[in-house]
Chain A
Amino acid sequence: MIEFDGVGYGYDGRTLFSGLSMSLAPGAFHFLTGPSGAGKTTLLKLCYAELTATQGRVSLWGRDASAMDRDAVALARRRIGVVHQDCQFLDHLPVAENILLPLTVAGRQAEGEGNLRELLAWVGLSRQAVQRPPELSGGERQRAALARAVITSPDVILADEPTGNLDWEMSQRLLTLLVELNRMGKAVLIATHDLNLIRASKSMVPARILRLRDGRLQQAGADL
């Protein structure tokens, strides 16, 4: 679905990373780790074509992302659920409408309304459904972002530090949801510093660890 072939990215004459090759196939479950500033968020942005690789080729469902027009990128993004680190919302809309937004823009809002209540309950935001995002705590925003990312049942789920503002119990629930989605064939890539989360996943899913360090990507099995 998403493939990196010798991908590099740099700006202002500085190379952040280069020669990255990886593949997010259906059913894959990857953790992306590495020190701050290594380029984890940048790598995720390359996955959903918010950034364009300065070297190599990123393919989204077989198409070169750098050659895709904006409409094609938009359609590709409908197949990718993203939990952003900064949880971007439309602050003038209630939480429920923000969660439905990926379906709304795709003209499929009716499909999600049945699942919305269940999803809100699952992420513990039933009471906050009518609140506006600025009224939510950091953890609540992150859970809302997760709900929005999965409402369309996307083929690929990308999460950037999804547990950064969550307590351990909620982190576990988030991991469980992602694992369940993965068992349904969704590819999952989680950028995280949270080693406990990675260890907790060990008993649930055969995850692969991608370590981004010194501009290179090292791959390993689930053992840490």
Chain B
Amino acid sequence: MRPQITPVLAQALALLAHAPAQVTWQVRRFLAFLAGDPQADRAVPPTGFTAWLTLFTAGAMAFLAVFAVALSLATDRLADRWGAELARTATLRLSAPEGQMQAQTQAALRILEQTPGVSEARALTPDENRQLLEPWLGPDLPLETLPIPQLIALTLDDSGGFDAAGLRARLQAEVPGAVLDDHTRWRAPLIQAAGRLRTLGIVALLLIAASTAAMITLAAQAALAANAQVIRVLRLVGARDIYIARAFVRRFTLRAAWGAAAGTVAGVIAVLLLPSADTAGGFLTGLGFQGLGWLVPPFIPLLAAVTAFAATRSAALRTLRAQS
């Protein structure tokens, strides 16, 4: 069933009638285009095949676009989270002969207490060491018989005053067996990977837009070819190309917008139905929209409409030129 949007748009046009002409001219023109001329629209017969093709294509592409946007936003968040978490922590590993470990640990903790940018330094207990190694070496780990290094977990404050190079130099002088890992070598590839995933999301969006444009162009060309006789009659009675094109363009633009709106709603519901990140904890389960990210999906039907408008207008005017 065709949506009845014309009265709503007519009201919008009436409201805009009192606004300054220079400001509202483009908006009024666009709304007038969407509101259309019912008589002019009737000049072109509805074509079921191309209508369904456009609706389906726009819907399917919008559905995929929702996931591409969700992926892009999720990788953004992931990059931020990984970056922030790793930037706020560091690890000190102490290797020392038996009998000196306790003294070296205390010395290291003393140094860390005095180090700017370190808000907390805590030596891991043997139980915590066991938990760390358990996934790799199994639960029956005779930890006391192994030369396990002492780990000290550092929590850094957000002041940015932490000087890893300075701390390393001091540790080398006072605690020679200490190795500081500020997580830089872990952080960089993870952030790079997140950045690439985000780029993939954007590329996917561009491919979706291009595919939508291509499909709608084909559908518009099919509709124009199927209506060659209609176009001939319209021309004989004095219709300009833009008049004929507008009837097709408006129809395809609205079809794409409605199809994309349906696809977007379906896509958002599908994203909402994904298991939550809190319960499953994996990256893919973190797909979704948060905060301002919710403002992005409503733009998908708008972008689909703009894509359809440009694709159909170009196809229509090109075809009409070729038919003349």
Binding site for B on A (CB under 8 A): 48, 50, 70-71, 74-75, 77-78, 82, 84, 88-90, 92-93, 97, 101-102, 104-107, 109, 148
Contact = CB atoms under 8 A, between A and B. Distances in A.
B39 A77 contact: no
B241 A70 contact: yes
23 contacts: A48-B236, A70-B320, A70-B321, A70-B324, A71-B242, A74-B239, A77-B235, A77-B238, A78-B237, A78-B238, A88-B232, A88-B233, A90-B234, A92-B45, A101-B43, A101-B233, A101-B234, A102-B238, A105-B40, A105-B43, A105-B237, A105-B243, A148-B237
Given A93-B42, A104-B40, A50 B236 contact: yes
Contact of B236 (A77, A92, A93): A77
Contacts, number: 61
Nearest to B46: A92
A46 B228 CA distance: 21
A156 to B, nearest CB: 12
Contacts of A50: 236
Nearest to B235: A74
B229 interface: yes
Interface of B: 37, 39-40, 42-43, 45, 229-230, 232-243, 320-321, 324
Nearest to A154: B238
When A and B form their complex, which 8 residue pairs have the shortest distance between CB atoms, in order from nearest? A78-B238, A105-B239, A92-B45, A77-B238, A102-B237, A74-B240, A88-B233, A101-B237
Given A88-B229, A105-B243, A93 B43 contact: yes
Contacts of B324: 70
Chain B CB within 10 Å — which of A70, A84, A105 has the most? A105
A223 to B, nearest CB: 34
Q: Which of B39, B40, B234, B236 has the most CB of A within 10 A?
A: B236
A61 to B, nearest CB: 14
A105 B43 CA distance: 9
B257 to A, nearest CB: 24
A168 to B, nearest CB: 28
A106 B324 CA distance: 19
Contacts of B43: 90, 93, 101, 104-105
A111 to B, nearest CB: 13
B226 to A, nearest CB: 12
A90 B240 contact: no
A70 B39 contact: no
A70 B240 contact: yes
A50 B233 CA distance: 11
Nearest to B234: A105
Contacts of A109: 39
Contacts of B235: 74, 77
A9 B45 CA distance: 35
A74 B236 CA distance: 8
A130 B10 CA distance: 28
Given A93-B42, A104-B40, A105-B43, A75 B229 contact: no
Contacts of A78: 237-238
A90 B235 CA distance: 12
Contact of A82 (B40, B45, B232, B236): B236
Given A88-B233, A90-B233, A71 B39 contact: no
A190 to B, nearest CB: 18
A102 B235 CA distance: 10
A91 to B, nearest CB: 8
Given A50-B236, A71-B241, A97-B39, 20 more contacts: A70-B241, A74-B240, A75-B240, A77-B238, A78-B237, A88-B233, A90-B43, A90-B45, A90-B233, A93-B42, A93-B43, A101-B237, A102-B237, A104-B40, A104-B43, A105-B43, A105-B239, A105-B240, A106-B238, A109-B39
B124 to A, nearest CB: 80
A221 B293 CA distance: 82
Contacts of B230: 90
Contact of A97 (B42, B45, B243): B42
A80 to B, nearest CB: 8
Which of A75, A88, A90, A148 gathers most chain B CB within 10 Å? Answer: A90
Contact of B233 (A74, A89, A106): A89
A84 B232 CA distance: 12
Nearest to A94: B42
Contacts of A93: 42-43
B49 to A, nearest CB: 15
A34 B182 CA distance: 100
